[in-house]
Structures are given as C-alpha cells and as structure tokens.
Structure 1
C-alpha cells in the first residue's frame, strides 16, 4: 500500500515538473504578444497621422492576435485618453500632448490548472493577462 501511495505521489509530482514549465512558457509568450500588440497599436494610433485608436484598428489587431492562437472574441480592449476626451473617434483626433492609454486583456483559459497537482490554486475564471501602455498623441491639425 505504501508503494502505491509513493508511486501516485511521485507520478503526480513528475507530471507537474514535466508539464508546468511548458504552460508557464505559453503564458509568458501570450503576455509578451499582448504587450507587443499594445505597443504597436499605441505607436500607430498616437502618431501624427492618426491621434486615435478606432474600431477598425481594434478589428485588425484582433485578426493579428488570432493568427497567434488567441480567440478574438475573448480579447478585451480598453482605449481612453488622459484628458477624458474620446480616444476612439476618428473624426476628432486627440491633439498633440494628450495621452492615449490602451489595455488589451485576455483570460488565462485554464493554463495553470496543472498547478492543482501540487496544491497551488490557479487564477480565477475572471483573471486576465494583459498588455498595455500609454503614449502621447503627436497629431497636429493641418491648416490647408
């Protein structure tokens, strides 16, 4: 009986040691991809040409992230400005010096369930990994 118990405990620990780094690696890669996408969108949206991040840009971002295996429906985008103005309105770009803040969040999707084998509680179903940042708008209205 002791040998069976030792076998079960050892096999549980062995499974966790074998597979946990893989899931952690997937988690780190997902977070890095979210951060890279947020940086790219802020670079484009805050440029002198745009001054906003609209729905079309978000849709293109969803497509890019779907190419990496993300479920586009589960991606959450939050775009706000530091002045309180609407940061998603293409007809009213944010003027130079106004900050555009972007946050892209995605659920963990049971990636860390294997941690239960060693007694660690995985994140809740509402928990999300996220990437984001803020960049000052460089948009200057042209006077033709």
Structure 2
C-alpha cells in the first residue's frame, strides 16, 4: 500500500511541475500585438503624404519625421509615467503611418492581449503628447492630435 501512495504522490508532483514549466514556456513564446491610433485633429498643421509631386500643400510631412529615435523618446515617456526604463518598452513598440486616416499607428507586442493593448495605449498617449508639444512649440497651435485608444 505504501508503494501505491508514494507512486501517486510522485505522479502528482511531476504533473504539477510539468504544468508550471509548460505554462512558463507558453507565456515566454507567445506574442500578441495590438494597436492604438493617434489621429491628427482637423485643421492641424499635419498633412497626409502628398499623392503626387504637384501636391504642395503646406504642412509637416509625418512620414519623414518619425525615426527610431522618436520610438526611443516615446518609450522613455512611457517609462517615466509607468516605471521601468525606456529600453524595457522600446523593443515592443513601433510607430507607422495610419493607412485609413491621417495619423499614426502605435503597435505594441506583449505576452498577453491586455498587456499588449495597454502598452499600445500608453505609447499612443505618449506619442500624442510628443506631437502636441512639438506642434505647439513650432506653430503655436495646441491639440494637433488625439488618441483613439481601445480597451
């Protein structure tokens, strides 16, 4: 009888250890991506990328402005607000042009859908603040962008 109990205890411990190790491995290898949009307000000095060379509308062409340094700045702002260092967030964030509206899309990667969405929203608010500060400094116009955050 003692051998039977000992064997069952060993199997239970082994099953628990495998479940914990498997769960940790799964969260380490799974990657979710989510987005948040920073839209340009109507009447802001930003314009979409020109359709052709004849389009000489005044404004700041966003596609030429955002670089890896800007992603680093957004990551640093997220870190200032929510803790950690900018390097913790930088590799999980990317900034691209929105294809359907005038604006930018912040894409974030995370281990769970909610953490990815939360980081995308944080990055979008940081990017919006960065653009609004720069616009206010250069043109004197406030609130050039707004965030379309999702839950």
Return the structure number with greater helix share.
Answer: 2
TM superposition score normalised by structure 1: 0.34
Kindly name which structure, 1 or 2, has the bigger radius of gyration based on alpha carbons.
2
